[in-house]
Structure 1
């Protein structure tokens, strides 16, 4: 049985790409794979023709594992195996000789290719354990950065810089808005924002080319590849590039003769403000009712007359809207756990969904101000209210939505 430690997975897709029977499916949040139902696969039990059978396979000396064997001649594509598969990996394709896919044959190719060794077989190769406890790490945490630079371009505010490929990135804390796009993009789980484990962006390698005529046999790409995906060719000085890898492009950027070329198509990222309170800019008339209604002063509006709400101070500025987007930077630096990231169920298009919110316990707050300094949106501030010594954080209570006369606000 194949097991995967999802906590340490970098979602590179190498296991999915190498599986000969498509028994592994990668999603941005998890990995779905055939686990042979713990040694008693249901697909084989229901197959009326014996096209899928269980076979005891000696995977190591003295250690046997159950694996599935498929006989195309006996398969009539009835679909019963697909119906009972608890992991939903089995699919009836009706393709000649491959009428069924999604079952594990215990070939171990996924175990061999995993660059971070989180795929294993009980009693044979134990998956590597990763400690992803991010508490106390602060709003921006970088660990074991390989210097591929993949996160630099997605940063919407240019807060990330890379002096030289192969050296760690640096993040300008004053520029960083804690949106999380860098951590969603990083191929190697080297950067985390506001102590959150990111949902990785989807990606697809459209092409990965190697020009053997340019290669000088320096092995720079082999040595640079953090996942050991690139192998030397025996008998000459060239290399073998993989069909699937983490797509960090470090080998391409370090090759001294430009012998490597990669084209990666990235899926959309999900910045922290993509969920929570949405505002229709065209509907907003900058009255400020939302800011005046917010119980935690998490919205700041400058009206068309230059009045700032909720402080009711004359600014003379242009109309504007700003709000807490619940990035969690404040919670990540609060040493007393007065601020935390929680969740609340809201209704969107008639369906209940969970959304992050900021939770505050005033009894634990000592008004140290660390959260105010950490807030990248300048929303947090001290008050004279002992029941709310710190204000400016969004609890996603929805009172702003109810107060808006133009229906410009909604849950998203």
Structure 2
């Protein structure tokens, strides 16, 4: 090309060669010519840091090393990290950035706790920090929040960001099986880890919610700021109740702006919720992910696709690598941290939510009025009530309008103590409807 200056190879260090790392190596090899054309320079894999080289016969032995620190310190341009965990990863990536090397990471847990530190290191040296693969696998989500929607005001991000829990809840919905039975099936099929705690207890989704909120609202949010509830307490009865009301149960990550008395804050939470079957997220089944974004000017958007897995995640890693490599070739750099808004995170108790409450009550006159009186006492407005009579008792279902989470919980606590209430069968939040 006339006037085009040739650039030497972009040298890449890969930290980790598990499910994702192996796919990264495969794509780098198979798409070498295309990547060269897209970047404007060849991409050269300089080395791969692993713990046990003899377990990685699928990659050239001369690329393998057990000394990740030496590899990061070597003459490389970009460090790709797919190890996971906090340490030694945090130290390795900070040293890479301090050394002026661009970093591509898929490490949601690290970013959810230490992104500020990594961004500061990147800013100090002028290096790039890319992390599209950290949330929702192959789905292009973080770059739209970080760049495409940078001129808009995002009001809400709500989505299904964990494939394991969505697979389990989808299975419970389609078969009527219990949580334990469906988890066992998910484990057998490889959708759940042998220790599924990070997924089913909501830790994975909370890390992703922190990253999404940080980008969407230009504020620093960490995983510890996120209210977190898992799916272990979701019963087959909850699923059936949702179905009877034209809803489905999903584990949602919800990040939203909340304005009270002219003061703006952020509410960030992960919990199971009932959503209407007509909502775009309701039809997201199996291990797929989807995120629904609302912005002032752009309106409503949904991002949908493969949220995990080696090849999908590697796709996002390669996209970041191309961006970082292009910046090296062209002399530019990627977007920096945007945390200027510094909005406070609202405590969950002060966050407005809606509830679906199922009660087992005595079947006699005056029960509904006693229950309704408790809602009124706590200033919680009832949106709908459904009563089901049986031989000796009755079922009462109450759906509320939005009120603070603390008020709703206090209401439920008081109701559970009423003599006419035999049992609070289930309590679940309701999302995706007008309040």
TM range (shorter): under 0.3
Larger Rg: 1
Report the TM-score, using the length of structure 1 for normalisation. 0.23
Tell me which protein shows more helix as a share of its residues.
2
